[in-house]
Structure 1
Amino acid sequence: MSTKTAVVLFNMGGPDRLQSVRPFLRNLFADPAIIGLPKPFRYLLAEFISRVREKEAQKNYALMGGKSPIEAESEKQRLALQSMLEKEFPDQQLKCFLAMRYWGPGVDQAQREIKNWGANKIILLPLYPQFSTTTTGSFFTHWQKHDHTGLPVQKISSYETDPAFIDAHVEAITAHFSQNGAPPNIRVIMSAHGLPEKIIAAGDPYQRQIEASCAAIKDKLPNALQDMKIAYQSRVGPLKWIGPSTLDGINRAANEKKGVLIVPIAFVSEHIETLVELDIDYRKQAESMGIKTYLRVPALGIAPSYIHALSEQVKAAMKEK
């Protein structure tokens, strides 16, 4: 019997309409990897947070047409990877599927599609380049808890320094810089989603992997883009988060009379953190700080080098026994 390998690309997901915002937020904050309280208290807190944040979140999603673009963006990545794998493995039966952690298409739907296709092997491939217990780790746990396929599963944890992934960022950064006139006196701010310090202190490798990605990218950038800083965005809640914050990084650049080029280093598709937080909120604040040049590099999306990086992860996984 020939092997039929299902490749599951996974991400966090996002609301598909404004009415989905509250249940999406409830699913997010009910995740024990996000809020580590016992179940009844965690669910109560998730319900409370989702109610409190619903209206403001709906305003932000309204700015993007009333829904998150992450499913559509991830679907484009799925199709691009499918096409590349078919060319690289013409004699192999591989099919790419999509699964979102907190909204549709969810794990149950992906597993039904995989069983209907007749797969006998599964590869889980994150659309998170750097591993965190709160993202990739959470998905692995969720998949295992709800797995009704009975199939062997290979897990790809991260690819933070994969050469093609690094090349994809270098190409995106240099292209955006050139397309905007290669302005002088620019600071590159590598902006990643933040995490509470206690998660990193407990052994989460995310910050270390972000730093590894940035170091590898910096090694390949031209001299004009060697002024690089790492910063973290999207803080919520009362806990102390890793820093500096992206806004602090922008403010420091303003004080030093520099322009900024923002790179979403941990986001591979456009969504609320890039289209609203970086493009609207932070841009306005940067202008109020006196920043004259504010550039934001697009997320990698279906950049050929990034899709190649994903295909390399699949190739390596297929060689493992």
Structure 2
Amino acid sequence: MSRIAVVLFNLGGPDSLDAVEPFLRNLFRDPAIIRAPALVRHLIGHRIARRRGPEARDIYRTIGGRSPLLGGTEAQAAALGRALEDLGEVEVAIAMRYWHPMSEAAARKIAAFRPDRIVLLPLYPQFSTTTTASSLAAWRSAAGAVGIAAPTHAVCCYPRAEGLVAAHAALIEPLLAAAAEAGEPRLLFSAHGLPKRVVARGDPYQWQVEETARRIVAGLGREALDWAVCYQSKVGPLAWLEPSIAEEIERAGRDRVPVVVVPVAFVSEHSETLVELDVTYRDHARAVGVPAYHRVPALGTHPSFISALADLSRGAFTASSVSGLDSGEGGRLCPGVHRCCPLAAQ
């Protein structure tokens, strides 16, 4: 019987209020986030964590004193393991990037399991150098340190996977109907933002987010649907991707149209959905005259999404090449201008 391992990558979140500042330090010391020499990066990370710590603790205090991200990811891992049982003995490990369990713990777990094959599967549907690339680099270091040598296949992205799109559409439909009671709704696809200079260097994230949104709109099959892509969670003084969700909410207020907000790049509930979208921007919508505000749940363990993850895993396990990287569609997705695409050389 085959021994199959899947490593799920996610951001991670503090598991207590005391963990908030260490979590932020880990985040802002990552060279994929702060592109500076190590000493400078560590000083910047420490300063940002100290400055943002009190506000971040207040945010986590409102949702129970900890991030719900690990629990949600554990539920996804369990559901994926059940979906892959027919492949043999399956171990699904979680590798968080900035808080426990991180890649080192996941690598020890996988090494003890002694798998025949491994698939690396990010819970970031859209690739970015700041998320997936950083997680894969951390995994390679951790796996090398414990001597993992099993054939490994990584999925870099899946922005238009059929199950991903179907899950979003299924969750959006009832809220579009509810919002229509207040007028013709506008669908806002909200993704975590990035500094514009990251995208200018060739990062394909923005293009992939827009591609996901286009596929979902097509899957909804509604003619003349009013929709837009926007971005949230800006940090620091740099110019970030636009429009912001605040700007789109203000436009909806001027137009007096209800909004349905979709967390298009988040597959699990966490502070940026439960606080930023559910509280901060709901209050903002009310203040600027939006007649109704509805937020679509994150995908979580929606059966269509878990089916997508299972299909991506099966594709990796049955690939003709036992080591490598692909998009889940058998080749490069991103237009050539996106030179940071991990498949740029293929």
Measured against the shorter chain, the TM-score band is over 0.9
- Offset, 1:113: 1.0
Cα distance, 1:180–1:253 mapped onto 2, change above 3 Å:
closer
Separation (CA, whole Å) in 2 of partners of 1:213 and 1:19: 36
Match for residue 129 of structure 1?
Answer: 125
Separation (CA, whole Å) in 2 of partners of 1:223 and 1:100: 37
Separation (CA, whole Å) in 2 of partners of 1:182 and 1:152: 54
Query: What does 1:151-190 align with in structure 2 at a 5 Å threshold?
Result: 151-178=150-177, 183-190=182-189
Cα distance, 1:169–1:225 mapped onto 2, change above 3 Å:
farther
- Offset, 1:319: 1.5
CA contact (8 A) 2:117 2:317 kept: no
Q: Secondary structure at the match of 1:203?
A: coil
Separation (CA, whole Å) in 2 of partners of 1:120 and 1:173: 39
Q: Secondary structure at the match of 1:146?
A: helix
Tell me, yes or no, if structure 1 residue 258 matches structure 2 residue 257.
yes
Match for residue 142 of structure 2?
Answer: 146
- Offset, 1:122: 1.5
Tell me, yes or no, if structure 1 residue 15 matches structure 2 residue 11.
no
CA contact (8 A) 1:186 1:225 kept: no
Match for residue 225 of structure 2?
Answer: 226
Query: What does 1:205-220 align with in structure 2 at a 5 Å threshold?
Result: 205-220=204-219
How does the TM-score come out when normalised to structure 2? 0.89
Amino acid paired to 1:15: P
Deviations 1:188-246 (A, max 9, x none): 00000000001001110000000110111111224378101000000001110110000
Match for residue 196 of structure 2?
Answer: 197
CA-atom RMSD, angstroms? Answer: 1.4
CA contact (8 A) 2:159 2:208 kept: yes
Q: Secondary structure at the match of 1:219?
A: helix
- Structure 1: runs of 5+ lacking an equivalent: none
Separation (CA, whole Å) in 2 of partners of 1:42 and 1:91: 43
Q: Secondary structure at the match of 1:220?
A: helix
Separation (CA, whole Å) in 2 of partners of 1:91 and 1:30: 39
Amino acid paired to 1:130: Q
- Offset, 1:143: 1.1
- Select between 266-275 and 117-126 the one with higher mean Cα deviation: 117-126
Tell me, yes or no, if structure 1 residue 95 matches structure 2 residue 94.
no
Separation (CA, whole Å) in 1 of partners of 2:136 and 2:114: 22
Amino acid paired to 1:35: I
The count of corresponding residues between Structure 1 and Structure 2 is: 317
How does the TM-score come out when normalised to structure 1? 0.96
Q: Secondary structure at the match of 2:126?
A: coil
Separation (CA, whole Å) in 1 of partners of 2:236 and 2:119: 34
Match for residue 266 of structure 2?
Answer: 267
Separation (CA, whole Å) in 1 of partners of 2:151 and 2:116: 7
